[in-house]
Structure 1
């Protein structure tokens, strides 16, 4: 008996591509689930669905954003050929907004801006991960390439606007909470 030949996708030169394909597929599925869930909830419940967006999909959103930290390792090790600094800044911004700001303030989690921000993030990520997943296996669609290269241009400024609105809400609610602590409201006994 001679040496056992491995399937093509398990050979060393294909392991990296198989790993990246699976990683992009997992991220695409997560972000697609979030986007689909938000869309179905909006068409089912209308504006009421926007209020509890964070409660409905916050866990999966935090999971997808946590997994996306692997991309920094991919770039550092050389698995991906992106630039480290822009990706680091984008991930840091999202992690801080999601884990530090949104998760810590329940009063602001119910604002429409959280739903809008999640829609923008997931729309960008669904296109990006679809494009990356297909490029790893050598498939290229002109429309998808165009979307991947141009969709961020109108959406990033809208994300910055939504994040600015969110920080404004967050600041106003934290100031209100501080004022209420300093001047507690006493209830009258009857």
Structure 2
């Protein structure tokens, strides 16, 4: 029977005449508890499956027939957990019609066709012995056909993962273009002044799309919180779309190019890291860079943002852009230059909060990799 815990790992099962195999699709397995007795298998562990982050997974399966628990074993590797169960009965054509005692369908349990003995298998002496089709009951054949249809659909990445892969790849390519364009501009001219014109449209597109990083966790597309992306998105878009966009004087400053280089360099490792995690892959170099390079670049980026805001205060004060003076119909006043001064005070506080969050993520991720 199934466990009452909601999260079940994906399991593929196969069989020969004398054994049953389980392939549990979990990576980065920690704290495994596997209990095998003659009639059931109980499992609980912390691990990762697909696009999910680290979660607690559990299941309990009541087996179709008894097994020899003393002859069973399991092996944990980086990609999955392999469990081998020895059937108690050793009669000829001992094929189970299903893995579970009951006929209830479990969506997380599939047939492993490469290890399913429904045509022929190898005997102990190494010779192939034919397994009669009558050994397969109608129920097993029906189950295999249903699982085959499900397996075909699973060959395609689900819509959510497909979208997230596209989004991360697009953002990576766009930021790579921004970074490369600015570096080429510096090599050709020996300075980074007036770099804003070269990358204005792609950097605006990237930062507009970054709003989706707040939406994704809110609608369940990704795990994690939405507040940290909100802080970063608000700060960057305020600087880009308002402070820089409406200040014609600051656009010529090389500080704009410095800022875009810092933003881009951070993302050149962040988006590939998310992409390989979606594919259930692991790259220690990218992981280390993603959780290390920010230690230098986040404070540097915040400093450059502060310089840009500071240089823009007099411009917005003298021109009155985005300010609202009394008297007016809504009886409300707003001084944008004063807002920018307040923002300068709050900027270090926001930076500390962001760095504290990233430091906790770094310790958690890199410690797990060492283990």
List structure 1 runs of 4+ shifted beyond 3 angstroms.
Answer: 2-7, 172-178
Match of 1:187 in 2: none
* TM-score computed with the length of structure 1 as normaliser: 0.84
**CA drift at 1:7:** 6.4
2:185 aligns with one of 24, 41, 49: 41
Structure having the higher helix fraction is 1
Stretch deviating more after TM superposition (166-175 or 148-157): 166-175
Structure 2 residue 176 is matched with structure 1 residue 32? yes
- SS state of the match for residue 150, structure 1? coil
Structure having the higher strand fraction is 2
Once the two structures are superposed, what CA deviation does each residue of 1:114-147 show, in whole Å capped at 9, x if it has no partner? 1111011111111100111111112211111011
- SS state of the match for residue 291, structure 2? helix
Match of 2:211 in 1: 69
2:223 aligns with one of 78, 81, 87: 81
User: Matches of 2:311 and 2:212 in 1, distance apart?
Assistant: 31
Once the two structures are superposed, what CA deviation does each residue of 1:43-99 show, in whole Å capped at 9, x if it has no partner? 11111xx22211110111000110111111101011111211111010011111100
Is contact 1:120-1:155 (8 Å) kept?
yes
User: Matches of 2:233 and 2:278 in 1, distance apart?
Assistant: 22
User: Matches of 1:42 and 1:15 in 2, distance apart?
Assistant: 41
1:1-190 alignment runs, 5 A limit: 5-6=152-153, 8-10=155-157, 14-47=158-191, 50-175=192-317
Q: RCO greater where, 1 or 2, for CA within 8 Å and sep 6 or more?
A: 1
User: Matches of 2:188 and 2:301 in 1, distance apart?
Assistant: 25
* TM-score computed with the length of structure 2 as normaliser: 0.44
- SS state of the match for residue 106, structure 1? coil
- SS state of the match for residue 123, structure 1? helix
**CA drift at 1:176:** 6.0
- Structure with larger Rg: 2
Please, which runs of 5 or more residues in structure 1 have no aligned partner? 179-190
**CA drift at 1:16:** 1.8
Please, which runs of 5 or more residues in structure 2 have no aligned partner? 1-145, 321-371
Is contact 1:108-1:173 (8 Å) kept?
no
User: Matches of 1:24 and 1:89 in 2, distance apart?
Assistant: 19
Is contact 2:179-2:265 (8 Å) kept?
yes
* Alignment RMSD: 1.9
Once the two structures are superposed, what CA deviation does each residue of 1:146-168 show, in whole Å capped at 9, x if it has no partner? 11111111111111110110011
User: Matches of 1:23 and 1:167 in 2, distance apart?
Assistant: 30
User: Matches of 2:277 and 2:184 in 1, distance apart?
Assistant: 29
Is contact 2:214-2:227 (8 Å) kept?
no
**CA drift at 1:15:** 2.3
Is contact 1:62-1:98 (8 Å) kept?
yes
